[in-house]
Structure formats: structure tokens, C-alpha cells
């Protein structure tokens, strides 16, 4: 596991930590062979980390490209009605199965933006109830 090459870093966990890959068991204990004290000099750790950083940057760009293929930019306006994604938990004691629960609740009204991606929601049916916060990723437009 520690010697398996990771797709993003193009290096193994052992290589990242120690600067080299450890010898495999068959290399260490072969008949009559004595393992080398210091195998061929590995690249300096800082050079290795610089190389890995480049691999991670390239992998992040590639992953972003695939993520953005199906991403739809949507920014609702204050006062707009939205549905909020729920993440209920199953409970055997209450005889409740999350699998059968509705995925969205609402409609809610966007009261204000807390940050660029977080909004405060108000429930028009229960204005006395405390307002909830939600991430834009968990919202979808309300269609009557």
C-alpha cells in the first residue's frame, strides 16, 4: 500500500515521506544476497516535493475540468423561492427509513446572503421559526 503510486502525485506514500521507495521483501531476503546500505542516491526531498507539487497542480486542473462539465452556475436573488436539500437519518426506533424520505423540503425564501455561497432562509409558512442557513449547492429553484 505504501509503495503504490498515487495517480495525482505520481509518487508513492513512502517516496513522499522518505524520499525513496523501500525495498520489496524479495529484494531484502533473497538467497545469499546482502541488501545495500544506501541504494542509488535519490533526488533531494525538496526537489521531489517540487515535482509532486507540479503533479498535484496538473491533477487539480484536470479534475476541475471534469467537475465543471456538468456544473451549472446558479445564484438565486434575495426574495426568491427555493427548495432545500434535506439529509435525514434513518431511525429503527422511530420506524423511519431515510431512503423513502423526500429529498427536498420547502419552499423557503432567501432572506439574505451571508457569504458568496451561503444564504439565510426563511420559512413563509412559519415566520416565527428560526431562520436556517444553507449552501447554494443544497438549493434548487422552486417550481409550483
Q: What is the DSSP string of 32-57?
A: T----SS-SPPPPHHHHHHHHHHHHH
Give the ranges where the chain is alpha helix by DSSP (H).
Answer: 13-18, 25-28, 45-68
Where the chain has pLDDT below 50, the residues are none
Question: Where are the domains positioned within the chain?
Answer: 13-68, 81-141
Fold of 81-141: SH3 type barrels. (2.30.30)
- Cβ–Cβ < 8 Å for 111, 120: yes
CA angle 95, 106, 100 (to 5 degrees): 30
CB burial of residue 142 (10 Å; 0-12, 13-18, 19+): middle
Maximum separation of any 2 CA atoms in the chain, in Å? 81
pTM as predicted = 0.54
Amino acid at each position: 500500500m505504501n509503495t503504490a503510486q498515487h495517480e495525482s502525485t505520481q509518487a508513492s506514500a513512502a517516496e513522499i515521506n522518505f524520499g525513496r521507495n523501500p525495498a520489496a521483501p524479495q529484494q531484502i531476503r533473497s538467497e545469499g544476497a546482502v541488501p545495500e546500505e544506501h541504494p542509488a542516491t535519490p533526488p533531494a526531498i525538496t526537489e521531489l516535493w517540487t515535482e509532486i507539487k507540479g503533479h498535484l497542480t496538473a491533477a487539480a486542473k484536470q479534475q476541475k475540468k471534469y467537475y465543471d462539465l456538468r456544473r451549472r452556475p446558479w445564484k438565486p436573488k434575495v426574495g426568491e423561492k427555493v427548495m432545500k436539500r434535506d439529509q435525514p437519518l434513518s431511525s429503527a426506533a422511530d420506524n423511519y427509513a431515510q431512503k423513502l424520505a423526500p429529498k427536498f423540503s420547502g419552499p423557503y425564501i432567501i432572506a439574505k446572503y451571508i457569504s458568496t455561497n451561503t444564504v439565510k432562509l426563511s420559512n413563509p409558512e412559519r415566520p416565527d421559526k428560526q431562520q436556517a442557513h444553507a449552501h447554494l449547492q443544497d438549493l434548487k429553484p422552486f417550481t409550483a
